[in-house]
Each structure stands twice: as C-alpha cells, then as structure tokens.
Structure 1
Amino acid sequence: MEPAAGADGGRGAAPGWRRRMGRLDAVLAEAGRALRVLDGSVSHERANPAGPSAADDPVLSDAESRHTAGLMRVNHVGEICAQALYRGQALLCRDEGIRRVLLRAAEEEVDHLAWCRQRLDELHSRPSLLNPLWYAGAFGLGLLASRAGIPYNLGFMAETERQVEEHLDGHLSALPDRDRRSRRIVTQMRDDEIGHRNTAEDHGAAPLPAPVRGAMRLMSKVMTTTAYRI
C-alpha cells in the first residue's frame, strides 16, 4: 500500500491509500478475462468480414451445415487456444514492448472468436464443450513458453501462427464453395495470422526445435479432431 498522490504529485497531499497492482491482481484479472472469453461476452473491435446478414446467402444443405459448423467450431477452439497462449506468455513477459506485441495479437484473436461464434449461431450450432480445458491448457503452455526467453517466446507465437495458417488454408479447401460467409471469415482470419507471424519474426522470433514443433502439431491434431464433434 502507498499514499495516494495529490494534485501537485506529492505523497500524502490527498487523503486515502492506493494499492499497487501486484501479481495476484494480474492473475485475478486474467481469470476474469478467461471467463468472458469462454462465455462470449468479451468485447471485440472489428466488424464481421462476412457482413451483417446471411439472408441473401445461398442456403446450405443439412450435411453442408453440419460440416461447416464442425469446421467453424474447430476454428473457434483454435482462437480460444491462441488467445490463452498469448495472454499466458504476456503475463510473465518482462519486456514491455514484446508484451504489447503479444497482447495486441490476443486482442485480434478476440475478433476471430466473435466472428466464429456468430457463424456458429447462424448455423444453429455451438462452440466446443471442452473450451475451458483448451483455454487452461493453452494458458499453461504460454506461461511455460514465457520462461524460455524472448526469442523462443516469440518463436512459439510464430510457430503457432504458421500452423494455424496451414490449418485455415485446409479449411478454405474443405468449406462448401457456396458458403461465402464462412469463407470470408476464414480468409480474414488467415490474413491476420500471417500478420501475427510476420510481427513475431520481425521482433526476433527464434525457430523452435523440431521436437517442440512436432509436439505442437500432435496437440493440434488431437484438438481439431475432438473439437469437430464435441
């Protein structure tokens, strides 16, 4: 605790006390953020690239709707994980500039979360029931990554975005051609992920060891296979 500063900047010039933000405050803030991410109430910045209404888009068959919903649920989980990873990395990052890079990427992932959630609602589907598990696991991985030093911390960001970019390219091939709304969302997401990867590399991201990249791909495979259905 410390005395609150008055108008002239001197301590004790105004009554009351101001509590200095500590690690516990940051952890509690992150817990609150996680709850808002998981319940879909976290605010986003950019408008949905699919446009305001699906009324004029072609009607998908039941099979196409189910398949598209599965893909968009996977994409939503991917954004849950990226959001959690970057916020976990930022929590323990001691370099303020790199911390801002991570938090800015996390904010753009919130846009992706909102777009995917809106598309799932349009398809009368739902996010993954395992989202709390995905978030907790990715946040823990982010905490671990942050202890590896700035180059590898950024390396996790670059490798994550590289794998997500490949994943989204695959979804663009798998989505029904006439599902213009989902395709617009996934295209914008992919373009943003490329930007995040380039940003990480421009700030000095180090390539991750092959076993780490392989483990990330394996975890991604488990996540995508499960999230498509659950």
Structure 2
Amino acid sequence: MTCRHYSFMDRLLSQADQTLRTLIPGAAQAQRPSPAAHLPNVPLDDEEKRHIAGLMRINHTGEVCAQALYQGQALTASLPEVREQMEQAAAEEIDHLAWCEERLRELDSRPSLLNPLFFAMSYGIGATAGAVSDRVSLGFVAATEQLVERHLDDHLQQLPLEDIKSRAILEQMREDEIEHGNLALEAGGAVFPQPVKDAMVLMSKVMTKAAYRL
C-alpha cells in the first residue's frame, strides 16, 4: 500500500475545511462518545447554569485555539513525522470541541462570539512556532497543554458537586491534554523558560475573561 503525499495546497485546502468545521456551531463531529453521554442531567439553578456555561465556554474556546495552533504548526513543520503528530493531536482535540459544544447546548448557552478572533491569533502563533523549528513548535505544544491542565484543574474545583456531566467531560479532557503534552516533550520539544510561560499565562487570562462573558 502506498502513502499519498499531499502538496502544500492540498494541506491548505484541508485546513480551510477544518477551520470551518471548528468555527461553525454543530459542524464538529467527535470520534469518541462524550464521557457525559450516559450521565443524567441534574437540576441546576440559573446562577449555577450561568457559571458552568461560562466555564464550558472558556474550555470550548481553548479547544478552538488548540485547533488553530495545531493547524498552524502542521502547515509549517519541517519533519513529516512532526506534521503528522500535529494533525493527529488536532483530530483528537475535535472530540473536546464537540463535547464542550454539546454541554453548552444542554445549558442553554452558546460558544464565544470571539472564537474567530482567537482562532486567527492562535493560527498565527502556531505557524510562526512551526516555522522557527520543530523543537520550538513541540515545546509550545507542551507548554500550552500544561497551561490547559491548570485551567481544567481550576474549573473542576469550581464546578458544583452535582454537575457530574461537566465534570466527566473535563476530567477526560485533562487526561488527554496531559498525554499530548508528554508526547510533545518526548518527541523533542523544548522546555520553555519561565518568562515565556509567564507571558503565555497573561495571554490566557485575557482569553478566559473575555470568553467567560462573550
């Protein structure tokens, strides 16, 4: 069996299709069933629903950014194996995107209106990192996943105990993000210095505050 080698234009068109699937509500299709699919909806008051929806909107936006980051890196990665790893990670993150969107619908809410802006910014960062070197690109994935893990830990602490559906989703997402980060480091990703990580934290705070409300 021969493997097809995709041209730069092929990859660009594929990414355009993936971008639309990421940004259009309802277009993302998960490969795995949601961890919350078998769990019952429990009664929540309006304030709890509003807060949980804000948290899930942040996580949904984070997955939009992850899609953009991986796509940008895959476009400019030098080594085919690194490109394939980025594309595989993006496919797995689609599950998270679909799960969060489904939970938002159950909470009578919606994704962030700022997602197209965040997607564009993240795509540019990913493409730049990939163009610098595969080692930097993989290091950026590892640092990003570590940051996402911290966000998920915080959100799990904030969820009402009775909201077992959101908790199941975030716990599975956390496991996946840890695995992606570890794989990036094992593949040769650079360990970023603390000042770079601090700058990433500041950027993420802007995103989370905006996505929570909008």
Structure richer in helix, relative to its length: 2
- Counterpart of 1:57? 41
TM-score w.r.t. the length of structure 1 is: 0.87
Shift of 1:201: 1.1
Confirm or deny: 8 A CA contact 2:28 2:97 kept in the other structure. no
1:96 corresponds to 2:77? no
Higher relative contact order (CA 8 A, sep 6+): 2
Within a 5 Å distance, the mapping from 1:1-230 to structure 2 comes to 22-39=7-24, 40-52=26-38, 56-230=40-214
Confirm or deny: 8 A CA contact 2:36 2:168 kept in the other structure. yes
With over 3 angstroms needed to count, the CA separation of the structure-2 counterparts of 1:28 and 1:81, relative to structure 1, is same
Shift of 1:214: 1.9
SS in 2 for 1:200: helix
Q: Distance in 1 between matches of 2:204 and 2:134?
A: 23
- Counterpart of 1:4? none
The amino acid across from 2:33 in the alignment is: A
Number of aligned residue pairs: give it.
Answer: 209
The amino acid across from 1:35 in the alignment is: L
Shift of 1:105: 1.0
Q: Distance in 1 between matches of 2:90 and 2:10?
A: 19
TM-score w.r.t. the length of structure 2 is: 0.93
SS in 2 for 1:189: helix
SS in 1 for 2:176: helix
With over 3 angstroms needed to count, the CA separation of the structure-2 counterparts of 1:209 and 1:147, relative to structure 1, is farther
Q: Distance in 2 between matches of 1:104 and 1:29?
A: 14
Q: Which runs of 5+ in 2 are unaligned?
A: none
SS in 2 for 1:124: coil
Quick check: 80-89 or 22-31, which moved more? 22-31
Shift of 1:24: 3.5
Q: Which runs of 5+ in 1 are unaligned?
A: 1-19
Q: Distance in 1 between matches of 2:58 and 2:17?
A: 24
Shift of 1:32: 2.2
With over 3 angstroms needed to count, the CA separation of the structure-2 counterparts of 1:21 and 1:204, relative to structure 1, is closer
Confirm or deny: 8 A CA contact 2:149 2:174 kept in the other structure. yes
The amino acid across from 2:125 in the alignment is: L
Q: Distance in 2 between matches of 1:132 and 1:62?
A: 28
CA RMSD of aligned residues (A): 1.4
- Runs of 4 or more consecutive aligned structure 1 residues displaced over 3 Å after TM superposition: none
Shift of 1:189: 0.2
Q: Considering only CA atoms, is the larger Rg found in Structure 1 or Structure 2?
A: 1
